[in-house]
Structure 1
Amino acid sequence: METTHALWLLAVPVSALMVAALARRIGLAAPLVLVIAGLLVSFVPGVPEFELDPEFVLYVFLPPLLFSAAWQSSYYNLRENLRPIGLLSVGLVLFTTLGVGYAAHLLVPELPLAAAFVLGAIVAPPDAVAAVSVAQRLGLPRRMVTILVGESLFNDATALTAFRVAVAAAAGGGFTLAGGVGRFAFAAVAGAAIGLLLGPPLHWLRTRLNDPLVENGVAVVAPFAAYLIAEAVHASGVIAVVVSGLYLGHRFTESAAVTRLIGQSFWKIMVFVLESVVFLLIGLQLPPVIDGLSGHGWEQLAGWAVAIFAVTVAARFVWVFPSWYVPLWLSARVRRREAGVDWRGGVVISWAGMRGVVSLAAAFAIPYATSAKEPFPGRDLIVFFTFTTVLGTLLVQGLTFPALIRMLGVAGDRERYTDTVAEAGAQHAAARAAIERLDELTAGEDLDADVVQRLRDLAEHRQLRAWERLGGGTGPEGEEVPSATYRRLRREMLAAERRVFVRMRDERRLDDAVLDRILHDLDLEEAALARD
């Protein structure tokens, strides 16, 4: 039995990676395909029930996913969009909590108001993983992507704090409104303080270790340390992780090149595996959720579920447009500071409200009994409505999100052109600085002229390649530009070199350790070519 159980546990990540790989190959958003696959598999006879352990999700899955997103986010972009991010991550979460809570209380007689607010807090925070993956692939403007990412970084903190307050009220834990506001303020401020206190010493340690593996090991431990320390003092672990991740990511440029290469590769793999497993598990949750609803009619449950899903989606539209645009209409200063998003952008932001694993983890974390030792009111219904809302947003909004972006014509084509021009200008200035430094170093020295000329040619090549990209990689008549020719031919040369080294290893004329060092150098050069 233990071996069978272990094989099923192994089957989850293996299946998740296979489905995610298939989704990437056919050009679909992997989170959506994984949810559908998990949902279908859950009905297969013989498949055991997989229940998400909320503590496992919140303490193991959530910190690295949040940290990686914060690490890769731009501090400057987030700061420039602080108003819309705050309105979504705090204002919208609280608005959704109240709106869905009141609607659920009116619709479902079995749900007292406090328990209904628990449901509202659970389904309030969107998970932007699916939305952002689609948005980036379809070229959504950077400001929209920044807002969605920023919302996903901070809204979990608001929602989890509201969830704990609502659970305390529903369970008879002596809740007061003033106490709830105070708890929220303390959690946010203390969480941010812990993140800020952890960031500088961790960065100081990383920059002095001079060992890429150990430096990245510190980064792996950082999100768990921030989360656990914050939660230990009843602060927001989410905010602590996000703030520390933003700080370390902003200072990542001070690390060594090898450290950055290893770190970027590691976090891409880590996030890919964790997200794949999590979204597959979401789909596998249906059987245990259904088991607790034997006393209700399915027509009635379906009607309630559709209504709560509709209110959850509508709440985002009701909040986004007035909260976003009224300040722009009323304040010239706000209009000057922020590049306004037109109504099409508002629709895209409003529709990008897919829920995810945090909502399910919170639902399963609801206690089974109140402080009076009585069953928690409506727990099975709250879990069921959470699952149907998460599933509905992922499938309905997730599957239609790409079509909506294309239909509205919201894309960042001009932005990409501006980026390329800016990169070309920066490459030009950097190449000039490199050549000037080369002249300083070689002045008055009798050096090999061929070596100096190769270095000068390399700097000039980097100076020209960004300008060439403005033409899409081709010349005026469609011919291949020099930098593209260089990359194509150099890749073929590297492949030929690699085949020789591998053949010599197979003939035992070269040791594996030597081959590893040689291939590492070739791989670094090929990776640099891929980024041209």
Structure 2
Amino acid sequence: MDVAPLLALAAGAVAVAAAARRLGWQAPLLLVLVGFGVSFVPGVPQFAIDGDLLLAVVLPPLLYSAALEVSYADFRALLRPIVQLGVGLVVVTAVVVALVAHAVVPGLSLPAALVLGAVVAPPDAVSAAAIGRQLGLPRPVMAVLSGESLINDAASLTFYKVALAAVFGAGGALLGLDATDAASTFALAVTVGVALGLAIGFVVHLVRVRLDDPVVTSVIGVVVPFAAYLLAEELSGSGVLAVVAAGLYLGHRSPEAGYASRLQERPLWSSLDLLLQAVVFALIGLQLRYVAEAAEASARSNWSLAGAALLVLGTAVAVRPVFVYAVEGLRGVPRPWRRRRSRSHRPSWRQQTVISWTGMRGVVTLAAAAAVPADFPDRDVLQLLAYAVTIGTLLLQGLSLPWLIRTLGVTDPDQARRDAEAEVHLAERATAAALERVAEVEQELVERVGPERAHAVADRIRGPLLARARSMSAAVRAEESEDADRSRRRARTFHRVRQEIIQVQRRVLMEERDKGHLDEEVMRAVLQELDYEEAATANSWVGRL
């Protein structure tokens, strides 16, 4: 493929995604619709999608960046519902969709239908997570959705491999699958994937904390997801689980690394996520026309294909809420041999409803459908049904999810207050520890510069520490609301003036450079200092009030 069409695709996809972000629209759906429309423009080439390449190049960085942001503590605490959705629901969805597709698509074998079920089983949490953050979904709900998205791809791709083997001859008695082979394949994928991912994460962390070079550590971070995925797949493990395990480990241990690496990695992964997701969803739209035309050329009628697509879509959508409520119902069945759990940790029916409606499909469905071998029977029909499920869920669930969240009121209005209290508590403890260190430094300085100068130096350090802690406490913990509001206004005014001062300093810096009074190297060093100061100001506690 020529480079120019690829560059045009990437530039156009990012432009559409940027417009969607600015307008507050659903970027995946808009990208699909625009891509579909562009595919009819004369001169636009047909982009051949290599599914294996997508799985190896696009999926690892998306999973890795998501894993870096997931709280390991929340993931561990909510492991049961995460595994139920990420593994149990994937298997149930794949089987039910396969049975429906086998019944409604004439001539579609059960193993081939199971491949389709595996392809459309895993939801993509990108859209749901963006909506949830925007509307303030409770943090436990977001943790479950994020955790599910990290492991459901591994379950679906493992199921996909087993079903694909059944299509090409390695079948069995259970739904056309070899149950023993399926169990051993899944066990090997989990064991090798998790062990390899943790090993890679451990080694990279050791290198990261000992290497004082943020550029090199950032490059190592970029290589990690690809190395973990490809090496695990080469060893018959799950590349997805290897990437997730490495990302969870490195994300949990990231505070031990240098600050420069963290400051560089977050915008890097955010930018890469935007680019990859935009290109993938644009490809879905661009390919839709040709997938539909190929399916239309088959022996089946258009009406039968349309009916099958609607039934498969309806099944894929319906299985999730049935599964969510069924699992919650089983949790309520008394089991004397198990320790009784507090209901305070169980989601409300409103939260379950929202979770059951976050089934939008995306990257993995596209990549797995494209990776189906060319000699696969009814490949065009399978791809058409997979695209129908992806676009249908984006339309049906993606557009209605914000309305559902607002209607049910699934938010946590006290989360901001709890976060502020936790931040104040942390600031107080950190300030106390810092003051102890300042006292030690003061005693060390007494012998060198005398008590008076040592005390003056220590006071200059103590002042900003104490002022920040007092300002935070006054803005959050003031007993009277008027006092709290007054403290917040004062803090915000200081915050705004400080940003304006930085802008003035930056303008003077540019003027001196343009007049030839300042060397370029000096200008860049001072500019970097101002940038860091502005970033610290923009991300300070005041902006989170």
Give 1:173 shift.
Answer: 3.2
1:172 aligns with 2:199: no
Relative to the length of structure 1, the TM-score reads: 0.94
The answer for the alignment partner of 2:357 in structure 1 is: 351
Paired AA for residue 122 in structure 2: P
1:152 aligns with 2:149: yes
- Aligned partners of 1:289 and 1:380 also within 8 Å: yes
Give 1:22-421 correspondences, 5 Å limit.
Answer: 22-174=19-171, 176-293=178-295, 294-295=297-298, 296-330=300-334, 333=339, 335-336=341-342, 339-369=345-375, 376-421=376-421
The answer for the alignment partner of 1:457 in structure 2 is: 463
Give 1:141 shift.
Answer: 0.5
Q: Greater shift after overlay, 8-17 or 337-346?
A: 337-346
Q: Distance in 1 between matches of 2:14 and 2:454?
A: 52
The answer for the alignment partner of 1:373 in structure 2 is: none
Q: Distance in 2 between matches of 1:465 and 1:298?
A: 68
Paired AA for residue 283 in structure 2: L
Paired AA for residue 301 in structure 2: G
- Aligned partners of 1:431 and 1:462 also within 8 Å: no
Q: Distance in 1 between matches of 2:156 and 2:86?
A: 9
Structure 2, unmatched stretches of 5+, are 173-177, 541-545
Q: Greater shift after overlay, 391-400 or 474-483?
A: 474-483
Q: Distance in 1 between matches of 2:484 and 2:268?
A: 41
Give 1:330 shift.
Answer: 3.1
Alpha-carbon deviations, 1:454-495, whole Å to 9, x = none?
4222212331344455489x9559655332122111111100
- Aligned partners of 1:348 and 1:404 also within 8 Å: yes
Cα distance change on mapping 1:498 and 1:206 into 2, 3 Å = same
Cα distance change on mapping 1:469 and 1:134 into 2, 3 Å = farther
Paired AA for residue 386 in structure 1: A
Secondary structure at the counterpart of residue 111 of structure 1: coil
Q: Distance in 1 between matches of 2:381 and 2:99?
A: 15
Give 1:44 shift.
Answer: 2.7
Cα distance change on mapping 1:505 and 1:425 into 2, 3 Å = same
The answer for the alignment partner of 1:487 in structure 2 is: 495
Q: Distance in 1 between matches of 2:343 and 2:457?
A: 50
Q: What's the Cα RMSD here?
A: 2.0
Cα distance change on mapping 1:450 and 1:20 into 2, 3 Å = farther
- Aligned partners of 1:156 and 1:238 also within 8 Å: yes
Alpha-carbon deviations, 1:191-211, whole Å to 9, x = none?
111112212111111111110
1:508 aligns with 2:516: yes
Paired AA for residue 433 in structure 1: A
- Give percent identity, aligned residues only: 43
Q: Greater shift after overlay, 424-433 or 78-87?
A: 424-433
- Aligned partners of 2:312 and 2:385 also within 8 Å: yes
Give 1:36 shift.
Answer: 2.4
Cα distance change on mapping 1:334 and 1:468 into 2, 3 Å = farther
Q: Distance in 2 between matches of 1:466 and 1:333?
A: 42
Cα distance change on mapping 1:135 and 1:477 into 2, 3 Å = closer
- Aligned partners of 2:475 and 2:484 also within 8 Å: no
Give 1:415-434 correspondences, 5 Å limit.
Answer: 415-434=415-434
Paired AA for residue 505 in structure 1: R
Secondary structure at the counterpart of residue 28 of structure 1: coil
Structure 1, unmatched stretches of 5+, are 370-375
Secondary structure at the counterpart of residue 495 of structure 1: helix
Q: Distance in 2 between matches of 1:330 and 1:285?
A: 51
Secondary structure at the counterpart of residue 233 of structure 2: helix
Cα distance change on mapping 1:27 and 1:475 into 2, 3 Å = farther
- Aligned partners of 1:49 and 1:287 also within 8 Å: no
Q: Greater shift after overlay, 76-85 or 476-485?
A: 476-485
Alpha-carbon deviations, 1:45-89, whole Å to 9, x = none?
332222321122111111111111111111110000000000001
Paired AA for residue 5 in structure 2: W
Relative to the length of structure 2, the TM-score reads: 0.92
Q: Distance in 2 between matches of 1:154 and 1:43?
A: 37
- Aligned partners of 1:128 and 1:354 also within 8 Å: yes
Q: Distance in 1 between matches of 2:432 and 2:222?
A: 38
Paired AA for residue 459 in structure 2: Q
Cα distance change on mapping 1:416 and 1:284 into 2, 3 Å = same
Q: Distance in 1 between matches of 2:102 and 2:439?
A: 75
Alignment length (residue pairs): 522
- Aligned partners of 1:328 and 1:335 also within 8 Å: no
Cα distance change on mapping 1:204 and 1:528 into 2, 3 Å = same
Q: Distance in 1 between matches of 2:531 and 2:425?
A: 28
Give 1:364 shift.
Answer: 1.4
Secondary structure at the counterpart of residue 47 of structure 1: coil
Cα distance change on mapping 1:353 and 1:464 into 2, 3 Å = farther
Secondary structure at the counterpart of residue 346 of structure 2: coil
Q: Distance in 1 between matches of 2:471 and 2:301?
A: 65
Give 1:380 shift.
Answer: 1.0
Q: Greater shift after overlay, 502-511 or 132-141?
A: 502-511
Paired AA for residue 156 in structure 1: D
Cα distance change on mapping 1:397 and 1:455 into 2, 3 Å = same
Give 1:254 shift.
Answer: 0.6
Give 1:129 shift.
Answer: 0.6
- Aligned partners of 1:309 and 1:389 also within 8 Å: yes
Q: Distance in 1 between matches of 2:477 and 2:470?
A: 12
Q: Distance in 2 between matches of 1:143 and 1:65?
A: 22
Paired AA for residue 495 in structure 1: Q
Give 1:146 shift.
Answer: 0.5
Paired AA for residue 303 in structure 1: G
Q: Distance in 1 between matches of 2:477 and 2:25?
A: 29
Q: Distance in 1 between matches of 2:270 and 2:380?
A: 36
Alpha-carbon deviations, 1:355-394, whole Å to 9, x = none?
001111111111122xxxxxx2221111000001001111
Q: Greater shift after overlay, 411-420 or 521-530?
A: 411-420
Cα distance change on mapping 1:358 and 1:468 into 2, 3 Å = farther
1:517 aligns with 2:525: yes
Cα distance change on mapping 1:467 and 1:334 into 2, 3 Å = farther
- Aligned partners of 1:32 and 1:130 also within 8 Å: no
Secondary structure at the counterpart of residue 172 of structure 1: coil
Runs of 4+ in 1 over 6 A off after TM superposition: none
Q: Greater shift after overlay, 162-171 or 459-468?
A: 459-468
Q: Distance in 2 between matches of 1:469 and 1:395?
A: 43
